[in-house]
Structure 1
């Protein structure tokens, strides 16, 4: 049974066709990659699935229920978490506050509990604090918990953003360029972290990444996107040796 199914998703910005008949079937616990040259439409696909844009045509179904037309926060509460190519972090907040904030859609103590400090509120706040610190440990940023997030090294900020996404308890995690700006050492660390959260939380992952080594090591299947259209899909070995993929990255003359 598929966890996430995208069928014939097409989108236009004015007269420009950005995505054409995109299809995806993602099983529970699967890790998939989406690669392609700059401007191919990869982030647009993420934005369409997660509700930032509404597809011109096609369907997006999570656990069999169509989510097209829902707002991003509604889609997030149904189980789609994501990070962004350009990190969206609040400059005035600490690392711990970022991850705590992501829990609040799950709280159950209501308005009365918020105003009058019910025992349920205190219990839930303690649970949020404990889970936030646990996520910071998993992503190796617990030592920064009380620091303002923008004071952290770039790679650590990326890990905070991922911890915040995991705080929403996603069934599917979308990672948009998770190693952008990272050193080779940070890249190796990120591979280990993604493997750890995949194993511990059994979350399905769809990732966009330019570093092919990263994609090849982590993903079970990979799609290659060019001008908004999938030109190849297969295992890492199949994608690595596909002439159309090589041409898309290197060009005809270089391949010849």
Structure 2
């Protein structure tokens, strides 16, 4: 807690603040920061994402070991209709316990939807009790053969989300995943696991209107039948959250293509240069 306190004080005392967000997403909160700090040196320069490419570089070749190669993932997605796939991933730290995994697997099986499940097998300080790391049920992959792809290890998340076949994202609501899902225009199915993820989930569902609540950590684990219903519902083309998600995606693209984030980045560099020159003159 002392470390977090020191970080917060350091942020407040800093010359300026640069955040990975954009005006169309968090304008009210950015304005609040400026008001509380007493100055306008708050710049939103996001979403900061790997550039889109031809699949031979960038986000495809990032990350660590995986049970499925990026090319296999893309080939699988290419065979799916547009907007027909739910991508399920809980980030690089969170690991499901066995009850969470069992309900998730049962919900995916009963839903009948196409999906990609990124299943982590270990934790670097995640949110599960020691010895309670959920394993994918032994017969699960056989039961969902043809419509489900399980990736153990690292998944090329940005590439998956950008694919035309992906329509929804079941996520732990970490900020990187939140921005990646929003930028891709996916309906966000929220299941926060810890830290600020609960606040991010509230932003997605209550403020932005792009998300549907699924669960909360290990306290609110969705039952398989209800999860199956939500998964199927999330792929509907006329879903209000889908319409709103496309609007937010457009705003994200506009921000980094000559819009607010580009302007904030230029302003930040100008202010930095002015500060540098003033220090030189002082010396």
* TM norm structure 2: 0.26
Richer in strand (by share): 1
Larger Rg over CA atoms = 2
Name which structure has the greater RCO, CA cutoff 8 Å, separation 6+.
1
